[in-house]
Structure 1
């Protein structure tokens, strides 16, 4: 437990005391942990509290690991992001001929996402293998020419995970373990389920309710990982510190792969869409605002809501992992309060209207 950010500490304690926040927060600056604390329950049914070593589902924070694995395999000469998807996926729909691996991990493939499909309700609750997910996707054509538009896409990252298996000759989770987790000492990070994961929750009229049917088998490359505050700090330091990818591959990961004419979203400044990460000046969305550039990603799935952000100028990592799906605004504001205080900016008190 570290609480060297007094404004953040006071705010989180106040929110936790009235049950408006449950989860864990870690902040590191210049290699030093300046905040590390958890609040609330690991499981509302049992009353078990969260601990500093609690394992949370990462949801879409997982996408950066999938993207990094593709880039690692490229560095090893086993594939290229410019490879046609049909080189790796067989049989391959004719419609997919122009789709490249690059499109899969930049949300620009045109392949319909899982949630856009007519059978989403059934697939959401039905366990699936990687082969079944790939076959599901192959049943669809494209909704736009690859590279011409950008639409957030979990299916593309699932296909990328399948390609990782084919290129590496290993199950996806085993490749991640061998290439990243074992080398970095991330012993509490993995793919799929683990018996000691905390329960996800949602706020219903009847109260705080555990959400136990995660079915992450349908999002292997898009959101199926779990981890801890400490392991995610290890990952952030390694990824942004040059210990996961060489300079050119890391530059490709955080570059903007959105179409040049991609419009602003909801009136906000358009974000940069990298491979499995995004970037923007998130502090402009809080009051008082601040302008520091941040590389980040969010995550939400089956009772979990997360955000991790990296600020390169101040060498600040903020990790917020929560096991309550209905904390979207809280998670965003807490992340920016932590970032602002760590950077010495005025402490935000709320979200802006834009």
Structure 2
């Protein structure tokens, strides 16, 4: 349940260094996170575990700023799309029990969905259905805080139609997992929340993992950093994301979940292999991520101001969890720092220095820029002494001036370099470099 910012990127980790594994020293990681905390770049919980044992854990910031209640390792946060791993495990468990089949057509449940007779349960799990992603539409922002039910959500999904022929490619869609939620409820004659509790949370003793409700109770709130302070984010009604993003959990519960999943405590090893099977970048409810020559499996998540990651390295028996309820930085950099620290590689302390420009200096960059490389238009405006980037179809983004005609949006790892003489702006993000011309 996440709205992508700027270029749609998955995690991309640095490769090319030699293996170094020794007794872990997390002192530099602590310095790194001290800097992140002092500069209001991150609030949340971080965890590293080996073979089920927690070897590093850190909490930064508050779960409720107004009350002054600080985050702890037991704080409960919304985990967003990591929920899809739970939903997939339930589906595959139902397949093992003969209640569902991966080849079963969606038309058995929702014939009104376009191409339903061509879409299988497997297509839904692997984002190959072609069903339009309802969270991509502007109208989503008009109802995401309001309670929904099966009828209202299916109606929205049906009305949005299809983006491509089923099984012709992979493309992320939360609609797939909302439909899977209702299918699970139908075949089990039980609420999704009860299925999570009875089949995953209770057996694995995940005492702080459940399907969220509104309003929040005894959970962390989420924040956005605006004009020098953390501002409370509105809350999504959890009946909207359902099995696509409605689970609440803790870092230690997520450790037990993914270790239990890979140990065969929820589904069989054969079913786990189906989750890990990657096609066009998508597994079934799971992604594969690179770290140097290694690989790990897991999922990211984002809902309201919450951002999350869970990952498991099968060969190294290593688990990493990041749960954030306030982010003003590129969370991918934090993940890399954690992994570098564990594997004994250099961790560079980030610099958050900025320069102050006059209104006249900022006015040089104001205007509309488009590119022949991608269908994205940037409009830059000045608000006081801050340059605001307005990417088409996305939220307004304040940029930090770094000097030498360069600006940064650290939360997305994006650098904007202006060439005033040529009337150009170059966006650098995730290894990509895209040139935009001033219109």
Same fold (TM over 0.5): yes
2:200 to 171, 180, 184: 180
Partner Cα separation in structure 2 for residue 115 and residue 139 of structure 1: 13
Partner Cα separation in structure 1 for residue 32 and residue 113 of structure 2: 53
Partner Cα separation in structure 1 for residue 430 and residue 173 of structure 2: 27
Question: Structure 1-normalised TM-score?
Answer: 0.87
Residues 333 and 225 (structure 1), Cα distance of their counterparts in 2 relative to 1, 3 Å cut: same
2:307 to 295, 298, 305: 305
The worse-fitting range, judged by mean Cα deviation, of 180-189 and 8-17 is 8-17
Query: CA deviation digits over 1:210-268, x for unaligned, max 9?
Result: 1132222210011111100110111011012222211110000011133xxxxxxxxxx
Tell me the equivalent position of 1:266.
Answer: none
**Cα RMSD, aligned residues only:** 2.0
Residues 79 and 184 (structure 1), Cα distance of their counterparts in 2 relative to 1, 3 Å cut: same
1:153 to 132, 150, 173: 173
Tell me the equivalent position of 2:14.
Answer: none
Tell me the equivalent position of 2:150.
Answer: 130
* Deviation for aligned residue 1:325: 4.4
Question: Structure 2-normalised TM-score?
Answer: 0.71
* Deviation for aligned residue 1:115: 2.6
8 Å Cα contact 1:107-1:156 kept in structure 2:
yes
Tell me the equivalent position of 2:9.
Answer: none
Tell me the equivalent position of 2:60.
Answer: 39
Residues 353 and 180 (structure 1), Cα distance of their counterparts in 2 relative to 1, 3 Å cut: closer
Tell me the equivalent position of 2:229.
Answer: 207
Residues 353 and 77 (structure 1), Cα distance of their counterparts in 2 relative to 1, 3 Å cut: closer
Q: Gaps (5+ residues) in structure 1? A: 259-271, 284-289
Alignment of 1:199-238 (within 5 A): 199-205=221-227, 207-238=229-260
8 Å Cα contact 2:307-2:325 kept in structure 1:
yes
* Deviation for aligned residue 1:349: 5.8
8 Å Cα contact 2:25-2:341 kept in structure 1:
no
Tell me the equivalent position of 1:24.
Answer: 45
Tell me the equivalent position of 1:115.
Answer: 135
Alignment of 1:1-354 (within 5 A): 5-89=26-110, 92-93=112-113, 95-117=115-137, 119-193=139-213, 194-205=216-227, 207-258=229-280, 272-281=281-290, 283=291, 290-327=292-329, 329=330, 331-347=331-347, 353-354=430-431
8 Å Cα contact 1:305-1:323 kept in structure 2:
yes
* Deviation for aligned residue 1:206: 5.6
Query: CA deviation digits over 1:144-172, x for unaligned, max 9?
Result: 11111221100110001111101111101
Q: Gaps (5+ residues) in structure 2? A: 1-23, 351-412, 414-428, 432-439
Q: What secondary structure, in the 3-state scheme, does the structure 2 residue paired with 1:293 have?
A: strand
Partner Cα separation in structure 1 for residue 266 and residue 346 of structure 2: 33
Residues 81 and 227 (structure 1), Cα distance of their counterparts in 2 relative to 1, 3 Å cut: same
The structure in which a higher percent of residues are strand is: 2
Tell me which stretches of 4 or more aligned residues in structure 1 moved more than 4 Å.
Answer: 348-353
